[in-house]
Structure 1
Amino acid sequence: MYIIAIAWIYVVFMMAITETSIVAGIMTFLLYGVLPVTIIVYVMGTGQRKRKRHAQEMQRRAEIQKSEEAKAAASEPPSQT
């Protein structure tokens, strides 16, 4: 995924270099290169961020369950045999 973004930035950089003025070159680089690539990389990473957030939530739930089990075990009176 990143190789395509890098290639596109390179192409746009080459386009920006050929512009007649510095301002036009900077605007070309920002509007044709940086802005679209950041949007696409953000959208493409949505699934990964969602999976990571879900895994963290599951880990938190497991930790809470472990602590509740430990508290329950600690509060039980010792059994006499």
Structure 2
Amino acid sequence: MYIVPLAWLYVALMMAVAEATNSNGTLLGALITFVLYGLVPVALVVYLMGAPSRRRAIKAREAAELAKMTAGKASVQPDAGGHAATDAVTPVRKEP
């Protein structure tokens, strides 16, 4: 899975070496070449390739949390916080 990003980093590294060793090239140009042609695109591609596995991990974690919450209860209550749904004291108004 990671062979293509590694190969791309190798090519970008060779481009940077060629830039640094050229008579008109500089080390700053080589660094910019390696970062802009190598690290940034590879980081983006690896991040996008990992999106499905991150999504599966999130869904599995949510399913485990839901199973843990419902394991001890017979039914799931919408308000399981233990607090009253409204104020315990009804508001009192002045009558006109």
The interval holding the TM-score normalised by the smaller chain is 0.7 to 0.9
| Structure 2 length-normalised TM | 0.69
Of 46, 52, 68, which aligns to 1:47? 52
C-alpha distance in 1, partners of 2:30/2:17? 6
Per the alignment, residue 2 of structure 1 pairs with 2
Supply the AA of the counterpart residue of 1:27: I
C-alpha distance in 2, partners of 1:47/1:39? 14
- Provide runs of 4+ in structure 1 moved above 4 Å: none
Name the Cα RMSD after superposition.
Answer: 0.9
| Structure 1 length-normalised TM | 0.81
Count how many residue pairs are aligned between Structure 1 and Structure 2: 69
C-alpha distance in 2, partners of 1:31/1:17? 14
C-alpha distance in 2, partners of 1:67/1:25? 61
Aligned-pair CA distance for 1:67: 2.7
C-alpha distance in 2, partners of 1:62/1:4? 39
C-alpha distance in 2, partners of 1:10/1:33? 8
Q: What's the CA shift string for 1:5-57, capped at 9, x where partnerless?
A: 11110110011001021001000000000000001111111111000000000
Per the alignment, residue 33 of structure 1 pairs with 38
Q: Which runs of 5+ in 2 are unaligned?
A: 20-24, 75-96
Aligned-pair CA distance for 1:3: 1.1
Per the alignment, residue 12 of structure 1 pairs with 12
